[in-house]
Amino acid sequence: MTSNSSKHLVCYIVSQGLAKTSSLLPSNKKRSIIVHSLISSLGILNPHFSDTHRIQVVNPRKATYKELAVYHSNDYLDFVLDSKNYVSSAGDAPMDASLNANFGLEDDCPPFQGLPDYIQLVAGAVLTAAEVLRQSKAEIAICWDGGRHHAQKSHASGFCYVADCILAILALKRRLPSAYIPNMIPTQKPRVMYLDLDLHYSDAVSDAFFSSVTPQVLTLSIHHSAPGFFPVSARSQLPSVSSPDFDPFTLSIPLLKGASNSTYARIWPIVERVKDTFAPDFIVIQCGVDALAEDPCATFNWSLGGAAGSLGWYINKILEWQGSKLLLGGGGYNSPNAARAWAYLTSLCLQRPLSLDTEIPDHSGFPLYAPSFTLDVPRGNMHDHNTDDHLSSVEAVFQDVIPIIQARLER
């Protein structure tokens, strides 16, 4: 038996305050509590869960105004961090709807009681995770309440109010004291790869690092793209190396409806070659689970585990990569399935994979797991529209992209 101190450390970022305030998110009501309750009831947070890895629960601090302002605009922060701006004393009716609209606090991003705490805690959680990784205290940090990849500098968008992915990347890309990474040249700045597995394109994150002068951050988003599908962006399309706008560090793999394990397995070599070429020091993985079968988005047909190409298979492969990893949450609108998925992925991080037929333990959320009452999220019957032609065109484009990444890094 390995002693606790010699085990690899995995930091799991959560606190009661974070779970409570994340559970107020209008698009994902109670999801955070459902997720953390399942993970806890499965015994995953027990330090003895794994023989080789030790999980440590780390409570996040609240991000300060200054830390949020590293990306967000002062106008946005001044508005969203003061609930008097949008919550009347009588309840949650907006004081001035036009002001809300200026900052995107309408439609799918309504203001809600607790929004200032939510923003500061979610940002604080990913910054806490980034610090743990930067100081080499752990090789893996998990923050399932993060992953809000649509939040913009000055406005909320697509259920996202805080740009935590961007704040995490900005923290990780800062120059490290050489003591933290012994093999790094002291003047070298770390490279950060952002890999987005959510059903939706990572518009805000990809835009934030688009066309950076120094190629220190690479974003790769695998998502559904179709006319009118959120978020509408030219960069959600397959890159075009001949376009004047082409940036080899802002990459997309658009997939058609019904993407299944076999489609994900087919594109995996591209993901791996991009990673090998870029050679990141840190990998931020946005693990949104709205591409899984049974999500209300009903667009993709990905399964949680089992077959080659599944979400679990992807995460296992990524965990073999060199470099420290930050796993974030994201979309996922079937809350018990999000809990199943993130519980399973947490067990993979601890190198003690739960069996997919694990029975859901008796806990407060138990009735939500009917009718299977097991951990698995199997694939459904949806037809996979990703034809050999489509996938061949993706492969052909990346055949050209990879040498360009290499050439730019050598400049």
Mapping DSSP to helix (H, G, I), strand (E, B) and coil, where does residue 285 land? strand
Site string for Zn ion, 319-338 (x = CB under 5 A): ------------x-------
Closest residue to Zn ion using C-beta atoms: 331
| Least CB distance to Zn ion at residue 333 (A) | 8
What per-residue string of b and e applies to 222-245 under the rule 16 or more CB within 10 Å gives b?
bbbbeeebbbebebbebbeeeeee
Q: How far is the CB of 330 from Zn ion (least distance, A)?
A: 6
Helix (H) or strand (E) holding 201: none
Nearer to Zn ion, 117 or 290 (CB): 290
Close Cβ partners of 291 (under 8 Å, ≥ 6 residues apart): 197, 198, 199, 223, 224, 259, 297, 299, 300, 302, 311
In whole angstroms, the minimum distance from the beta carbon of 243 to Zn ion comes to: 26
- CA pair distance 77, 44, nearest whole angstrom: 36
- Identify which of residues 116 and 288 has a Cβ nearer to Zn ion in the complex: 288
Q: Which residues contact 369 (CB under 8 A, 6 or more apart)?
A: 336, 340, 360
Kindly write out the interface string for residues 351-390 of this chain, putting x where it contacts Zn ion by CB under 5 A and - elsewhere.
----------------------------------------
Measured from the CB atom, the residue of 128 and 252 that comes closer to Zn ion is 252
- Candidate ranges 1-9, 184-192, 194-202, 395-403; the one touching Zn ion (CB under 5 A): 194-202
Residue 223 C-beta: closest distance to Zn ion, Å = 8
Smallest gap, in angstroms, from Cβ of residue 155 to Zn ion? 18
Backbone angles phi, psi at 237, to 5 degrees: -85, 170
Give dist(CA 250, CA 210) in Å, integer: 6
The per-type count for the chain, helices as H runs and strands as E runs, is: 12, 8
| C-beta of 76 vs 201, nearer to Zn ion | 201
224 annotated active-site? no
Nearer residue to Zn ion within complex by CB, 309 or 329: 329
Q: How far is the CB of 231 from Zn ion (least distance, A)?
A: 9
- CA-closest candidate to residue 159, choices 145, 174, 177, 142: 145
Q: Which two tokens stand for residue 158?
A: 């697509």
Instruction: Name the active-site residue from 150, 155, 223, 224.
Output: 150
Interface segment toward Zn ion; rule CB under 5 A; list 28-36, 121-129, 196-204, 246-254: 196-204
Residue for token digits 């077959």? 307
Q: How far is CA 41 from CA 129, 141, 319, in A?
A: 23, 20, 24
**CB closer to Zn ion out of 199 and 350:** 199
The answer to the question of residue 199 lying near Zn ion (CB under 5 A) is yes
Chain positions 261 to 300 lying near Zn ion, rule: CB under 5 A, are 288, 290
Residue among 117, 139, 198, 247 that touches Zn ion (CB under 5 A): 198
Provide the pairing of β-strand 324-328 with 282-286.
parallel
Residues making contact with Zn ion (CB under 5 A): 198-200, 288, 290, 331
Active site amino acids: 150
